[in-house]
Structure formats: structure tokens, C-alpha cells
Amino acid sequence: MKLFESSLDRARLLERPSWLVTCSLLQRESFGTVTSDARYEIAADTEDDARDAVRSFVRQSRPRCLIHSMQVARQAGKLA
């Protein structure tokens, strides 16, 4: 029974709410500025954690882009 309880505890720790983060991105080019929108669905404990994760991801994956605006909404269910 002890093993079963610890498995449940571990599963609860792994469950995190999912967040939909919508960003408006700016990228400067020689001919002007390009604006694009991006949406990310991620699992994070808090809204701030979700924002930080997206900022980090955008910095790494799109280094020439700046985040102009960001909106975060909590999703009803958990990520699979």
C-alpha cells in the first residue's frame, strides 16, 4: 500500500495546469519591421512560470524577434 500511495503522490506532482500564451512578435528587417503572432500551449505551475517559459523559448528559437505583447489564459484541462 505504501508503494501505491507514493505513486499517486508522484503523479499529483507531475500534474500542472496548462496555459495558452499568445504573443505578438516584432522582427526588424532591412525593409522594415515584420509583425507576427504566435500561440503556445504549455504546462506550468503559475502564470508567471508560463510567461517565463515562453520568453525563454522565443529568445532561443527566434533570437531576432522581440516580444511586443503577451497574453496568458489558463486552460480548463491538463495537457496530455
Q: What pLDDT does residue 1 have? A: 40
Spell 21-60 as b/e; 16+ CB within 10 A means b. Answer: bebebeeeeeeeeeeeebebebbbeeeeebbebbeeebee
For 25-51, the pLDDT digits (tens) are 999 889 999 999 999 999 999 999 999
Segments making up each domain of the chain, as ranges: 16-78
User: Higher pLDDT residue, 4 or 71?
Assistant: 71
Q: At the top level of CATH, which class does the domain 16-78 belong to?
A: alpha beta
Instruction: Give the residue from 8, 5, 21, 26 showing the smallest Cα distance to 57.
Output: 21
